[in-house]
Structure 1
Amino acid sequence: MNIYQFTVRTIDGEQQSLAVYRNKVLLIVNVASHCGLTPQYGDLESLYRRYKDRGFVVLGFPSNQFNQEPDDEATIKSFCARTYAVTFPLFAKVEVNGPNTHPLFAYLKAQQPGLSPDGEIKWNFTKFLVNRNGTVVRRYAPTDTVGAIERELVELL
């Protein structure tokens, strides 16, 4: 099993198979617009622009599980474009923990549970690095910076 078996809803409401990202290196992130870590949108966009021509994509999944993404998808999309010039793909809001966890995030947490024995995501901007084969190779904490990710990312490209 790999991430290509999952279907997600884009921020514009379209169903999309993650198979469209086959052979790409991915950084899957649960994001939020009203969080102290929200400026990471800018860092993620810079990373995406630096490496997208080499087959790298950031996938942003807004979540209100920590009560910091109350807006609807249209508002989120507008905020990200206006405030951080985000061009990487954004998706519909998801739950990352609990009984309604999106299947993609259940899979990501099972593959890379992190420091938590139950694998739960503790905050916004938890990041999962996925190689070109769709294998989840690393989980990064919300406070891990783009600099901490970049070295391993470049090795996968």
Structure 2
Amino acid sequence: MTLMRFDPFRDLERLTEQALAGARGPRAMPMEAFRRDDRFVVALDLPGVDSGDVDVTVERNVVTVHAHRAPLRREDDELLVDERPQGEFSRQFFLGDNLDSTRLSAEFDRGVLMLGIPVAEASKPRKVEISAGPETEEKPRIAERASREEPANV
């Protein structure tokens, strides 16, 4: 089952951003993804972002998260240090065909965006009932014929 597919261009872009920001620069939107029962959970860290500044869209099997973080300072404040990432951030990931993107849910709490993506019904394991075939009817007939025949003398 797949949650994400490899996107070499996005990975290259992310590496470039990290290199330009410095080796210790934080990633804009760190992510954790895992499966819990019949759903996938994706958690994205968005500290300092208001829930109204987060936008989640799904188009086909692509989920895009946009967020905006404004600086806390005002125009008349004297800036001493500014290491907090701010501005527009986005992250995309691809959903496998085994997931139901129409039932994706989103919850934002304490700077963490939690996405829930259920496994599609067609992809869930199901028990297959085994029906009795025609050979079960043949077995009693074969046993009946064998009992009518006389045993051979040896």
Give the TM-score normalised by structure 1: 0.28
Which structure has more relative contact order (CA 8 Å, sep 6+)? It is 1
More helix by share: 1
Higher alpha-carbon Rg: 2
Give the TM-score normalised by structure 2: 0.28
More strand by share: 2
